Amino acid sequence: MNNWGIPDWLEKEVKERDKNCVYCGVQMIEQMPPHGPRKNVATWEHIINDASIVSRENIARCCVACNASKGTKKLSAWIQSSYCKKHGINKGTVAEVVKKALRTGA
């Protein structure tokens, strides 16, 4: 189990599924480069901001930039934000796991 309470089996599954940010689609890297920007570093994300929901439907990986922008905002509100508009993120461009969360009213 990792620091966020994600079991090893789920961490492995999500890492295999989410090579690109589930929001903006940027290809992510595992660690911050010594002298480079950290915006493409992979972070753990609860799509629905509830740390008690530890499932393949709620745990995802996204880039630092998207994670910082979303913060604790509700997904449906964040997807309408100026950040998302500026970065071309919308209900049609996000990963399937996010689309499913939006369909269920996240």
Report the pLDDT value the prediction gives residue 31, as an integer from 0 to 100.
76
Answer whether residue 35 shows pLDDT above 90.
no
Domain count, the chain: 1
Whole-prediction pTM: 0.90
CB 52 within 8 A of CB 64: no
Domain span at residue 89? 8-103
Q: Judge whether 3 lies within some domain.
A: no
The SS3 call for residue 45 is strand
Q: Judge whether 78 lies within some domain.
A: yes
Q: Judge whether 95 lies within some domain.
A: yes
Answer whether residue 40 shows pLDDT above 90.
no
Q: Judge whether 2 lies within some domain.
A: no
Helix (H) or strand (E) holding 16: helix 8-17
CB 65 within 8 A of CB 23: no
Q: Judge whether 1 lies within some domain.
A: no
